Amino acid sequence: MAAGLRNWTFPPQIKQFAVISHDYAATVAALLLAVLLRGEPPVRSILGMNPFVFALGFAAFALFIYGLCSLYASRWRFASLFDLFGIFKAVSILATILLFADYVISPRFTEGPKLLGGRTLAIYWCVQILLLGGPRVAYRAYQSWKRQTALNRDPLAALVIGRASDADSVIRAVEAGIAGPIRVFGIVSPIIQEAGQAVRGVPVWGTTEQIETIVRDAAERGITIQRAIIAPEALHATPLMEAVIGAFRRVGIPTIRLDVAQSVGFAQPARLHSVIDDDLLIRPLVDVDEAPLKAFVRRKRVVVTGGGGSIGSELALRSAQFGAESVLVLDSSEAALHAILDRAALEKRAGDGPVEGRLCDIRDRSRLMTLLSEFAPDVVFHAAALKHVPHLEREVSDAVRTNVLGTVNTADAAIAAGASALVLISTDKATEPVSILGATKRLAEMYVQALDALPQVFDGTARTRTRLVAVRFGNVLGTAGSVVPRFRAQIEAGGPVTVTDPAMVRYFMTKREATDLLWTAARITAETTSAGHSAILVLNMGQPVRIDDLAQRMIRLAGFEPGKGIDIIYSGRRPGERMSEILFEEHEPQFDIGIRGIVAAEAQAPALARLQPALARLEAAALAGDDAGAREIIAELVPNIRVPARIIPLRTAASGASGNKA
C-alpha cells in the first residue's frame, strides 16, 4: 500500500487546473507589484475600478493569451526554451495591450498623467516573465535533481561522443530521466576548437584523438567512466567512429547509442543499444516510409514460414509492431520457435498484435495446407529455406526438397487459403546462379512467377486472387550464417580472420531494411490485383562492399589493427561461390514502382504448363536421394548452373567466411 501511495499521481485535469491557477495568480501579482515598485503613489482607480479588481479581470484575459501562445502544451518537468519563448511572446503581447490602453484609450476617459506609464509597464514585463518562467525552470531543475538522486542512486558514469551540438540531445535525454541510470561527466568532440566549452553544464574534456588520456585523467580524479554514448548524428562519420569505438574497446569501455524519443518533451523512453556493425554500414540506410506500411499491415493476418530464423523472426516482430491482427510463426525447429515466441512476449508493447507459433516443416504439404487453411492469412512471407552454399553443394536433394518443393507447398497453400499476397524471400545468388543454392532459389522464383501469371480457380469458382512476388536479398548484416557473425567470432577467438579472396565483393543490408522491403513488396503486390508477369523487387543497396574491407573494419572496431593484433588469411573461393553478385539478369527489364530505394524488374519465367513436368521429375529424383540426377535436371531448368557433381567437404575452422545469406 505504501508503494502504491508513493507511485500515485494527481490526475491530468487537476495538474492542468493547478498550472492555470498559478498563472492567474502570477499575473495578478505581477500587475500589482509593478504598480507598487514603480516608485510613485499607487493608482487609486483605473477607469473607475479598484486596481485590484482591474488586475483580476486582466489576469482572466491573460489566460486566453497564454493558451494561444502554447503555454499549456507541455509539462513543467520538460520546460524548455520553447516554453520560455512562449512566455516571452505572451507577456510581450499583454504589455503591448496595456501600453495601447494606457496611451490611446485611457486619455479619452481620464485627465492628467497616464494611469500606468512606461516605467510601470517595463517593470510589469520583467516581473511577469520572472513569475511565469521562474517556477517552471525551478520545477524542472527539482525533477532532474530528484531523478539523479532518488531514482538513480548508482548511475553509470558516461562520456558523450560527438560535436557539442550533437551531444545536446543525449544530455537532454539523460536529464529528462528517460535514458536510464546514467550520469554524463564529459563530452569528447572531434573538433579541437570545442575543447573547454560546455553544453548544459557538461564540459568538453578533449578530442576523439585523446580518448585514452581522457579516461586515464578521469580515473585519477576518481571518476571511473563506464559507458561511451555515441550521439546519433556522430554515427554518420563512419571512419571516425571506427577509430573511436576501437579506442574505447582497447580501454575496456562499451560503446552504446541512444535512440532519443522524438515526441515533444521526451514523453517516450529512449532505448540504449550496443553500437553494432549495422550502425556503421558503409552506405546510408534506405528509409522506407512507414505510414503506408502500418496502414496496410493493420488488422492483417500474417504467416511467416521459417519464422524462427534471423529474417523470419524480425519480420514476425515487425509485423506485430505494425499492428497486425495476428502473426503465425511456422518453423521446423522447436528451439527456434520457442526463442521467437519468448522474444515476442518480452518485447510486446501496447498495441502490438499477438504472435503465435506452430511446429511445421514446409516439406510436409498436408500439414502446411491444414495450418494455413485454419489460420486464413491475408499475407504469407516465405522465409524458410536452406541457405549455406558449401552444405547445399553437398546436399543437393535436401536443397531441392526445402528450397524448391517447400516453396511449391507454401505457394499452393497460400492460394488455397485465399491469401491476398505471398512474398518469396529469395537471394541475389538466384541471378544467373552458379551454385545449388542460387539455382534452387531461382527455381522457387520461377514457380511463384508462373503461378502469378495464371488465373486462379478452385472447385470451378474464382476466389480472392493471390498475388505472388519474389524479393531478392543481399547479405543481411548480423543474421545467422552471414559473414559478420563469422568474422566477429574469429576476432573474439583471437584470429585469424579468414577471407575467401581479397577481391570478393558482396551487397549488404540491415534487418530493418530487409523487413521494410518485404512489407513494401507485400503492399504493392496485394494492391495490384490484375494478372500478369510477376515482379522481382530488390533494395537499392548502393555499391557492393569488398569482404576484405569489411574484415579490416571489424578488426579495427574491436580495437585491433589488421596484421598486427589479428591477421587476415585468404582461403580461396569455394565451389559454388563467385567473386561478385548481380541483382538482375540482362533479360529482366527494370521499371520504376515509385518507391525510393526499391528497384523492380519484370520476371521472365516459363509457363507453368512447361515448368510442372520438369519439377515433377526433379521431385522424384530428390525424394529418391539421387543428387546427381537432381543436379542434371536443375541444369536443364537453369542453364547457367555448371558445377561438377562431386562431394564437397564440409567447412573447417580454417575455411572462409560464409558466402551467402538470403
Q: Environment class of residue 422 by beta-carbon count within 10 Å: exposed (0-12), middle (13-18) or buried (19+)?
A: buried
For 557-596, what is each residue's pLDDT tens digit?
776 778 777 888 888 777 666 776 766 666 666 666 667 6
User: Would you say how long the chain is, in residues?
Assistant: 662
Q: Which of 173, 202, 182 is nearest to 78 (CA)?
A: 173
Q: What is the pLDDT of residue 149?
A: 54
Paired sense of beta strands 508-509 and 461-462, if any? unpaired
Cis before 292? omega within 30: no
The answer to whether residues 497 and 566 touch, using CB atoms and an 8 Å cutoff, is yes
This prediction's pTM: 0.63
Q: What is the pLDDT of residue 125?
A: 85
Q: What is the pLDDT of residue 404?
A: 94
Helix (H, G, I), strand (E, B) or coil at 103: helix
Q: What is the pLDDT of residue 551?
A: 84
Helix (H, G, I), strand (E, B) or coil at 318: helix
Task: Give the separation between CA 24 and CA 529, rounded to whole angstroms.
Answer: 61
For 328-375, what is each residue's pLDDT tens digit?
999 999 999 999 999 988 888 877 889 999 999 999 999 999 999 999
For 84-106, what is each residue's pLDDT tens digit?
888 888 888 888 888 877 776 66
Q: What is the pLDDT of residue 370?
A: 95
Task: Give the separation between CA 204 and CA 121, rounded to whole angstroms.
Answer: 42
Q: How many CB atoms lie under 10 A from the CB of residue 588? A: 15
Task: Give the separation between CA 326 and CA 544, rounded to whole angstroms.
Answer: 37
The answer to whether residues 566 and 552 touch, using CB atoms and an 8 Å cutoff, is no
Q: What is the pLDDT of residue 108?
A: 57
**What is the Cα 656 distance to its own chain's centre?**
31
Q: What is the pLDDT of residue 290?
A: 75
Q: What is the pLDDT of residue 658?
A: 34
Task: Give the separation between CA 471 and CA 11, rounded to whole angstroms.
Answer: 50
Q: Name 533's Cβ contacts closer than 8 Å, sequence gap at least 6.
A: 449, 452, 453, 602, 603, 604, 605
First-to-last CA distance in the chain? 54
Task: Give pLDDT < 70 ranges for the chain.
Answer: 1-13, 38-51, 73, 75-80, 104-115, 117, 143-154, 176-181, 235-239, 258-288, 455-464, 478-481, 528-535, 540-543, 559, 575-577, 580, 582-594, 596-597, 640-662
Q: What is the DSSP letter of 193?
A: G
Q: What is the pLDDT of residue 295?
A: 84
Helix (H, G, I), strand (E, B) or coil at 562: strand
Q: What is the pLDDT of residue 322?
A: 87
Rg of the chain over CA atoms, in angstroms? Answer: 33
The answer to whether residues 492 and 559 touch, using CB atoms and an 8 Å cutoff, is no
Task: Give the separation between CA 537 and CA 600, rounded to whole angstroms.
Answer: 5
- Cα–Cα distances (Å) from 171 to 179, 201, 240, 494, in that order, read 9, 10, 21, 36
Task: Give the separation between CA 115 and CA 102, rounded to whole angstroms.
Answer: 7
Helix (H, G, I), strand (E, B) or coil at 333: coil
- Cα–Cα distances (Å) from 637 to 446, 468, 554, in that order, read 10, 21, 40
- Sign, CA torsion 322/323/325/329: positive
